[in-house]
Structure 1
Amino acid sequence: MPPMSMPLEGKVALVTGASSGIGEAAALCLAEAGASVAVAARRAERLADLVGRIEAAGGRALAIAGDMMVEEDARRAVEETVASLGAIDVLINSAGVMQVGGIEGCDTDLYRRVVDINLMGTVYTCAAAVPHMVANGGGDIITISSLAARKGGAMTNAYSASKHAVNAFTDGLRQEVGGKNIRVTTLMPGATETEVADNIVDPGWRTAIKAHVAKDGAVKPRDIGEAIVFILSMPRRTNISEISIRPTIDTSA
């Protein structure tokens, strides 16, 4: 049995949305725990820097540039992981996007993009990864959702709806593949210091969400990365099916 400091030694993980925030932190924490890590995202230069940091620390990493809302790119990320690193034991679905705005006068293309990335990107990678995990006798899938999946909001329709769907899909997947030794987890962060607001079209909401995720006491991406390693380190008989992580100072439901 590997030492506790390297509980994932010998494992191969693919992390989507790895160019920043939770995905980047997850990749670093997985590598520190002993896993070989493939990192996928659209920003190739950031992936190259991340791979360099992992390798400089003695780890093994692979950069795969691609857009997870494009099914071909998502499936290619899984296949390149297997071809280059030999397997896919762990899939971390962290690619995601947020837009804010109500339904009156909305740009439905923005709604479609949020759903395509948050939900369909997750569907694409899972559909590609599960057959490999079944063939290898098991695996782990952790999907990054949000506490927004537990509520709605007058102006967060697209984001909340997509995350509700992500939760439903992920738990359905857990029930489908649990008997094949594939553990599936929905991880729902609260306010976490990431770049999630950077692409919000509405400037007022962009400023507000930036302030929300940078507030005093906000969760750090590394906190989520360490939680991921904890989930993966549990005995195989144990599936942490759902976990919420929020700032200590946030006592809201």
Structure 2
Amino acid sequence: MTKPLAGKVALVTGASSGIGEAAALCLAEAGAAVALSARRVERLSGLVARIEADGGTALAIPGDMTVEDDARRAVAQTVEKLGRIDILINSAGIMEAGGIENVDTAIYRRVIDINLMGTVYTCAAAVPHMLEQGVGDIITISSLAGRKGGPMTSAYSASKHAVNFMTDGMRQELGGRNVRVTTLMPGATETEVGDNISDPNWRAAIQAHVAKEGAVKPRDIGEAIVFILAMPRRTNISEISIRPTIDTSA
């Protein structure tokens, strides 16, 4: 079996479920050694066991990406334990309801802290290593919601819109030094993204949305990540959208 990422080392945040978990499995299958970070320690341990059972190399680094010290520690331990960091997958994130009427500003801060600032922290920690190595790849999991807001998605959409533009700024800043940066924007994907939404009506709506017939599977996103990384170094897929075939909306 071809392993296009053999010899590479990746750090995946939000690796305990959904897209992050699928990304970790696909990266390991493609030959990368994978460091896994998330808050749910028991899930990370189970994922490490699965990867190692299939002959791969994995390392659990529990942490909360909203805490800058945790994010920097995840990068530092990846380099210390696995020797380098070639790939950073920013998958840690949450969704919350976020209208402006009767707004709970704490929700806005929480969404932005995780979706935007968590990405800033890991990138800030990883980029110096990548520049010193002379090579690196950063893929940030955003969302099609970053392109289009809605009456109950303003907090989430604002955070993902900010992530999109920050990521593209990094692409322009780092591309000339062989660090490729990609924004990956999934549409409805079958994950646990809706399970922790505090508003019960919005929670039910999002759970139904991601469970609908034809929704994208997390592994589809994981395989897309490997495809992006396996492209020749002269090629930077700067942005990619993945939506269900049956979803024809803009």
TM-score normalized with structure 1 length: 0.98
The amino acid of 2:178's aligned partner reads N
2:112 corresponds to which of 112, 115, 121: 115
In structure 2, the partner of 1:49 is 46
Find the residue that maps to 1:84 and give its secondary structure: helix
The answer to whether the Cα contact below 8 Å between 2:14 and 2:91 also exists between their aligned partners in 1 is: yes
Structure 1 residue 38 corresponds to structure 2 residue 30:
no
Distance 2:65 2:244 in 1: 29
In structure 1, the partner of 2:99 is 102
Distance 2:176 2:45 in 1: 37
Deviation digits for residues 19-76 of structure 1 (CA, Å, limit 9, x no counterpart): 0000000000000000000000000000000000000000000000000011000010
The amino acid of 2:26's aligned partner reads C
The answer to whether the Cα contact below 8 Å between 2:15 and 2:24 also exists between their aligned partners in 1 is: yes
1:155 corresponds to which of 134, 152, 157: 152
- Give runs of aligned pairs for residues 136-175 of structure 1, distance below 5 A: 136-175=133-172
Distance 1:171 1:199 in 2: 29
Distance 1:162 1:55 in 2: 35
1:189 corresponds to which of 186, 191, 213: 186
In structure 2, the partner of 1:222 is 219
Find the residue that maps to 1:24 and give its secondary structure: helix
In structure 2, the partner of 1:251 is 248
Moved more, 104-113 or 230-239: 104-113
In structure 2, the partner of 1:19 is 16
C-alpha deviation, 1:106, in angstroms? 1.3
- Give runs of aligned pairs for residues 54-133 of structure 1, distance below 5 A: 54-133=51-130
Find the residue that maps to 2:61 and give its secondary structure: strand
Distance 2:39 2:235 in 1: 34
CA RMSD of aligned residues (A): 0.6
The amino acid of 2:32's aligned partner reads A
Distance 1:165 1:198 in 2: 24
1:28 corresponds to which of 25, 28, 41: 25
Distance 1:101 1:29 in 2: 33
Find the residue that maps to 2:89 and give its secondary structure: strand
Deviation digits for residues 160-195 of structure 1 (CA, Å, limit 9, x no counterpart): 000000000000000000011000000000000000
- Give runs of aligned pairs for residues 228-247 of structure 1, distance below 5 A: 228-247=225-244
The amino acid of 1:87's aligned partner reads R
Distance 1:190 1:101 in 2: 19
Distance 2:157 2:62 in 1: 27
Distance 2:183 2:99 in 1: 26
Structure 2, unaligned runs of 5 or more: none
The answer to whether the Cα contact below 8 Å between 2:98 and 2:156 also exists between their aligned partners in 1 is: no
C-alpha deviation, 1:104, in angstroms? 1.3
Distance 1:115 1:133 in 2: 26
- Structure 1 residue runs of 4+, over 2 Å off? none
Distance 2:62 2:98 in 1: 30
C-alpha deviation, 1:101, in angstroms? 3.1
Distance 1:101 1:92 in 2: 26
Distance 2:213 2:233 in 1: 37
